[in-house]
Structure 1
Amino acid sequence: MKPVVAVVGRPNVGKSTLVNRIAQTSDAIVHESRGVTRDRSYHDAEWNGREFTLVDTGGIESYKSEDVFSAPIRDQALAAAEEACAILFVVDGTTGITEEDETVARILKRVRKPVFLLVNKLDNPDREDERLWEFYSLGVGDPLPVSALHGHGTGDLLDEVVALFPDEDELENDTPDDGALSIAIIGRPNAGKSSLFNKMIGSDRSIVSDVAGTTRDAIDTVVEHAGKLYRMVDTAGIRKKSTVYENIEYYSMVRGLRAIDRADVALLVIDSSTGMTEQDQKVANLAIERGCALVILLNKWDLLTSDNEREHVMESVARRLTLAPWANVLRISALTGRSIDKIWALADSAAAARATRVSTSALNRLLTDMREFGHTVVDGKRRLRMHYVTQTGTKPPTFTFFVNHTDLVSDSYRRYIENRMREAFGFKGTPIRLRFRKKEQRDDKGDK
């Protein structure tokens, strides 16, 4: 499970630019206006061999009301503190301290998490000391000069941040190896996750033990069903209301991320009364990116009274689930208990597919078949040739293809190969990974 680092601060101080710099990406929106980043963004990052999740808490903005800053800033800063190993508090060195900065600082002083006060936009190292002194008055530690735009100061910062992470062995060994299948119930707030959890571990189940999870104050519940152990991995709102802020979208997403990292199978709960939304799609994609098996549960199906309503929901799933047409979809009602018992078998099936190992001979028979009867990619005089394939990992199944030109492998050709592999070997309920490596061809004339 990856440590979480949260980036907080008022709008337009350079949070997204800093995120792009640390994550070495450009997918965080950067614009010179307030409040551009309205959705929380989650990025995989790495420094000195340590991987972590970087969370941009964009959207901390003031509202023109008498209660100027309190609600949005308090909620975001406290939610960030709940899950982070470290908090990067970003301020603007060119404008000085604002009332919004002071509000965030007051909140962060009450949380027991390491806070790094980053004075951003100090692009001239020779004059940075002139702008640092006033930020000591925020009372959250020594201000550190950085330039997210040019990268100045970020390396030293990351050295200190990574040093705070738990040992990797400690993270790996946090979940007991008792043979239980880890299941995370994920989804948007109010989709029915708590009701489903309670129904699945109801009085007809044998609760074996409560095991402390990696998330502070989170509890994983181990239950027995049909003679098999399952660890229900804690996600937002399932176990207890640890804070009054737990139902806000940011907190749910971070808790969901951490649960997915510890789970074998993710149960994505969707509110059938609204259909599959863009936010549901984002949560599904997070599970897929992290290699988690996936089962889609259409909860509150009993509330749909017409064929038109039911068709609308199924159409929304087909439209939003283009990255995972392989996921099983089950119509349930956590309230009435409809189809709840079927979930266990689907979770087992998805987990088995995620652990599938295919022999090298079977893979290369399929490869021979694709070479003879399938299409390939041609670019001028260059033709893509796939020489060999082998499985290089499980959970999820990962396959490495040795080809002559890796740059000829287009997204559409990747989809074609994945579809052929799923036709041949199944993989129902799990993502698979396809890697392509260049196979060097020996030339008798030029190779010595």
Structure 2
Amino acid sequence: MAKPIVAIVGRPNVGKSTLFNRLAGKRIAIIEDTPGVTRDRIYCESEWLGHKFTLIDTGGIEPESEDIILQQMRKQAEIAIETSDVILFMVDGKEGLTPADTEVAEMLRKTRKPVVLVVNKVDNLNLEANAFEFYNLGIGDPVTISASSGLGLGDMLDEIIKHFKDEEDDDSQDAEIKVAIIGKPNAGKSSLLNRLSGEERSIVSDIPGTTRDAIDSYVIIGEDKFLFIDTAGIRRKSKVKEDVERYSVLRAIAAVERADVCLVMIDGTEGITEQDEKIAGLAHEAGKGVIIVVNKWDAVEKDDKTMNEFSKTIRNKLSFISYAPIAFISAKTGQKIPKMIELIKHVASQHALRIKTGVLNEVISEAVMMKQPPIEKGKALKIYYATQVSTKPPTFVFFVNDSEIVHFSYERYLENQLRQHFGLDGTPVRLIFRPKKED
């Protein structure tokens, strides 16, 4: 089930980024070295009382005209409304109620999205009374916090998770492969969806994507069912230059969270851009199956070396998803589409692959015999046993004598051994090392 998305909305200088960074905690440092959107620090994964959710910071989305505050607030609210499951509306407890706050509150009241009203900068009990005027916004009881000192965050998070939907018993949960088509504007996402759901296919239904203004298409191809999630229309109402990129990222986050497999679409006539790297980073960090789809291949002037050279460029620029297969297609002509469909099915099965503990440990033991772990801090790493704890993506826990001495290069070696023996094509692999005392 997709993690809920919580968006922080508020006018400038109310403390959105301070709250975001506090809730992100160490997780930001963990994902900082991954090529992708995380350089911009606009989203992170958070957890409270066992409830995991994706947190979006809309603070960086500002128009070129710095004095048009209401225009900025409208854009932030639009993005939050479209992409989130819960909206965290932050106001300034010291400055008090402003016309900009009232403007956004009016927009939020018209939506069906739950809103948690948070009054920030309430650093002591003397300021608690400042929260009362925000009842005038008409969007519920305000929760007082201090993002800088961490006061009141528990109560705020309690309010947020109240709005998360319980996991529903969904008979169709595994009935179809959920595929998100992500990529920068004009890469051909809608063209691919139209090709897949055309008259030659058996369309079960076309339904509006859940409040996210995407189009979900259920498609039957042969005996296989697919749910294709399209993020078309990324440029909608986007008049601000930097918004185009950030807006596409926010849309992609929502689509990626719901998917099993992500098709990262690249315009073959343009080559790989920084935005492609960022969007691919989303799928990788979310632990989804990934296929790199190079579209418009029919329009590329090529010889017998062109495909290999393009593939090398992809592997170089998208080295963090070296496990992802590459498909060269033309959504316009239908070239190589059937091959891509087979690839989607294969990656989905690899993403959900479960390996028996006995077989897994045989492979690990053999790998350790072939290459002993390096000595770290004067100590030799010992691996007692390993077990797979989850799928989507395949995640393995290794019980060792000291988790602090696991060298990155040896971790990569073990991952490569797993891939060599079990395939795991198109899916990230997570390795977790836990200390275990010797008997």
Check if 1:230 corresponds to 2:225. Answer: yes
Give how far 1:388 is off.
1.7
* Alignment match, 1:289: 285
Distance across 2 between alignment mates of 1:104 and 1:309: 51
Give how far 1:380 is off.
3.8
**Cα 1:211–1:106 shift into 2, 3 Å:** closer
Deviates more, 1:198-207 or 1:176-185: 176-185
The CA deviation string for residues 38-64 of structure 1, in whole angstroms up to 9 with x for no partner, is: 947222222222222111112243543
The CA deviation string for residues 188-239 of structure 1, in whole angstroms up to 9 with x for no partner, is: 23221101111122222122345676556765322222x222222323228x
Which residue identity lines up with residue 350 of structure 1 in the other structure? V
Give the paired residue count. Answer: 426
Report if the CA contact (8 A) 1:108-1:115 is conserved: yes
Distance across 2 between alignment mates of 1:13 and 1:315: 46
Report if the CA contact (8 A) 1:399-1:434 is conserved: yes
The CA deviation string for residues 90-112 of structure 1, in whole angstroms up to 9 with x for no partner, is: 22333445554454344334433
Check if 1:354 corresponds to 2:354. Answer: no
Secondary structure, aligned partner of 1:234: strand
Tell which has more relative contact order, 1 or 2 (C-alpha 8 A, sep 6+): 2
Give how far 1:391 is off.
2.8
Distance across 1 between alignment mates of 2:206 and 2:235: 17
* TM alignment of 1:264-413, pairs within 5 A: 264-305=260-301, 313-413=310-410
Distance across 2 between alignment mates of 1:116 and 1:160: 7
**Cα 1:242–1:272 shift into 2, 3 Å:** closer
The normalised TM-score by structure 1 is 0.84
Deviates more, 1:330-339 or 1:206-215: 206-215
Distance across 2 between alignment mates of 1:304 and 1:217: 32
- Name the Cα RMSD after superposition: 3.2
Distance across 1 between alignment mates of 2:120 and 2:109: 20
Give how far 1:134 is off.
5.0
Distance across 2 between alignment mates of 1:431 and 1:63: 38
Structure 1: gaps (5+ residues) = 29-36, 443-448
* TM alignment of 1:31-430, pairs within 5 A: 39=40, 41-61=42-62, 63-64=64-65, 68-98=68-98, 100-129=100-129, 131-136=130-135, 138=137, 140-168=139-167, 170=168, 173=170, 176-177=172-173, 179-210=175-206, 214-215=210-211, 220-225=216-221, 227-237=222-232, 248-305=244-301, 313-430=310-427
The CA deviation string for residues 388-439 of structure 1, in whole angstroms up to 9 with x for no partner, is: 2233333322222221111111322211111122122221111222222222
Deviates more, 1:364-373 or 1:330-339: 364-373
Which residue identity lines up with residue 231 of structure 2 in the other structure? A
Distance across 1 between alignment mates of 2:438 and 2:265: 49
Which residue identity lines up with residue 21 of structure 1 in the other structure? R
Distance across 2 between alignment mates of 1:21 and 1:377: 36
Secondary structure, aligned partner of 1:357: coil
Distance across 2 between alignment mates of 1:23 and 1:43: 6
Structure 2: gaps (5+ residues) = 30-37
Distance across 2 between alignment mates of 1:292 and 1:187: 15
Distance across 2 between alignment mates of 1:209 and 1:137: 43
**Cα 1:278–1:43 shift into 2, 3 Å:** same
Secondary structure, aligned partner of 1:27: helix
Report if the CA contact (8 A) 1:304-1:310 is conserved: no
Report if the CA contact (8 A) 1:222-1:229 is conserved: no
The CA deviation string for residues 130-174 of structure 1, in whole angstroms up to 9 with x for no partner, is: x33554555544443210011112211211221112112x2x52x
